[in-house]
Amino acid sequence: MAKFAFLIEMKAKPGKEAEVEAFLASEALLVKDEPGNLTWHGSKVEGETGLYRVFDTFVDEAAGEAHMAGPAGQEFVQRADDLFVETKVLRLHVVASK
């Protein structure tokens, strides 16, 4: 069961939407085999140009921290200024799940 999650909100720079979507696809491949990462979803907000979200869940907070320190997290940090006008990382403690 997931105990911890990240919800990352991103606003793409104008004209960078296709690049953001390719970046998210590459991020999905990086997290595919991460231990402790239970789910990872990159999505585009319907009706909102350039607005994206990533939601990922982890077995515990330590696994979430390992994810952020690992290849996917580091690539996100390195590419954020080029791709996004705004990012917001929400740290979530899961209190209920299906």
Domain assignment present for 8 = yes
Domain membership of residue 68 (yes or no) is yes
- DSSP per position, 11-77: EEPTT-HHHHHHHHHHHHHHHTT-TTEEEEEEEE-TTSTTEEEEEEEESSHHHHHHHHHSHHHHHHH
Tell me the C-alpha distance between 25 and 34, whole Å.
Answer: 15
Cβ atoms of residues 58 and 39 within 8 Å: no
Q: What is the reported pTM? A: 0.92
Classify residue 53: in a domain, yes or no. no
Q: How many domains, the chain?
A: 1
Report the C-alpha gap between 37 and 57 in whole angstroms.
6
Range of the domain at 82: 1-31+63-89
pLDDT tens for residues 10-67?
999 999 999 999 999 999 999 999 999 999 999 999 999 999 999 999 999 999 999 9
